[in-house]
């Protein structure tokens, strides 16, 4: 087997994970989308991407993701969508090879694909000199997925609507143990299920407490997936815990990182997990500011 050597001069850009600290489904719009409320917590842990710009007009992944056709990959979709909107007479020549260091589990509800898309939009907007403002990039991102705008704007936020109405906030310093039960959840299937609650009353974010919120998808996912139910029950023995998004990842909340690491050490060896700190500002945006990029 030949190992592909990556260029040594690549700049790697953060593509952080997020958690939905709660997820309330308040109703359903006529177009089928769900009206919801949620609280997005960004993490200081995630994937990394690097971009080699060229004028071939081709947009490719250096290492395609097994089981994900290129036309379905959000990274490729994001790059092609941005190129369509580029203010350049030679936009058809804009190309790139995209490198990905994948750390986040797919289908985990922690925003891996959406975060990858946001990082792609923000960095290629700079490298291709597209000149789009952040609000325009977030609008493009929303067409790719409801979670993309939170990563484009790069702040923890209270979300409403389909997830696009964001109120930025500062959250208490918390360390999270995130566990992936090694099963994949279809968001589309969960939101189509007639047993999914769709009438949770709206809350005023000023009255938010973790203890008076829930994840409306959690019960249904646990009924469908015993592994998710098992991990949730186990983590609840140690700390406040909840499923994020439509799953499958479960997070447990700790005041001290050592506490999270101690519980992580008790997990079975075959279980995927990581410990991360909640942050109000995205690691990607911190990188962008440090390098004085205009995006």
Question: What are the catalytic residues?
Answer: 18, 147
Query: H helices within the chain, ranges in order?
Result: 74-85, 112-127, 134-144, 148-153, 187-192, 218-224, 226-235, 257-264, 283-290
How far apart are the C-alpha atoms of 274 and 222, rounded to whole Å? 21
- The structure tokens listed for 209 are 């407490």
How far apart are the C-alpha atoms of 35 and 202, rounded to whole Å? 10
Q: Where are the beta strands (DSSP E) in 58-125?
A: 59-61, 95-101
How far apart are the C-alpha atoms of 205 and 166, rounded to whole Å? 12
- The structure tokens listed for 84 are 């369509």
For residue 148, what are the CA distances in angstroms to 88, 112, 159, 267? 24, 10, 12, 31
Closest among 172, 194, 196, 174 to 247, alpha carbons compared? 196
């Amino acid at each position: 087997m030949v190992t592909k050597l990556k260029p040594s001069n690549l700049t790697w850009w953060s593509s952080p994970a997020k958690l939905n600290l709660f997820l309330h489904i308040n109703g359903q719009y006529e177009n089928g989308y769900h009206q919801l409320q949620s609280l997005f917590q960004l993490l200081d842990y995630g994937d990394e991407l690097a971009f080699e710009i060229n004028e071939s007009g081709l947009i490719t992944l250096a290492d395609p993701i097994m089981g994900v056709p290129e036309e379905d990959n959000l990274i490729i979709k994001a790059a092609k969508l941005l190129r369509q909107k580029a203010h350049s007479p030679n936009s058809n020549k804009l190309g790139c090879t995209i490198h990905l260091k994948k750390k986040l589990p797919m289908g985990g509800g922690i925003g891996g694909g959406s975060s990858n898309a946001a990082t792609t939009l923000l960095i290629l907007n700079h490298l291709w000199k597209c000149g789009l403002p952040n609000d325009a990039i977030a609008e493009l991102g929303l067409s790719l997925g409801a979670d993309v705008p939170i990563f484009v704007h790069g702040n923890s936020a209270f979300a409403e609507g389909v997830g696009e109405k964001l109120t930025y906030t500062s959250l208490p310093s918390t360390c999270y143990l995130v566990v992936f039960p090694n099963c994949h959840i279809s968001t589309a299937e969960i939101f189509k299920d007639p047993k999914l609650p769709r009438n949770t009353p709206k809350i005023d974010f000023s009255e938010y407490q973790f203890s008076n919120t829930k994840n409306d998808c959690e019960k249904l996912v646990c009924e469908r997936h015993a592994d998710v139910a098992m991990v949730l029950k186990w983590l609840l023995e140690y700390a406040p815990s909840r499923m994020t998004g439509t799953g499958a990842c479960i997070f447990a909340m700790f005041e001290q990182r050592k506490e999270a690491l101690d519980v992580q050490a008790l997990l079975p060896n075959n279980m995927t997990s990581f410990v991360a700190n909640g942050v109000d500002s995205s690691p990607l945006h911190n990188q962008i500011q440090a390098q004085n990029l205009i995006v």
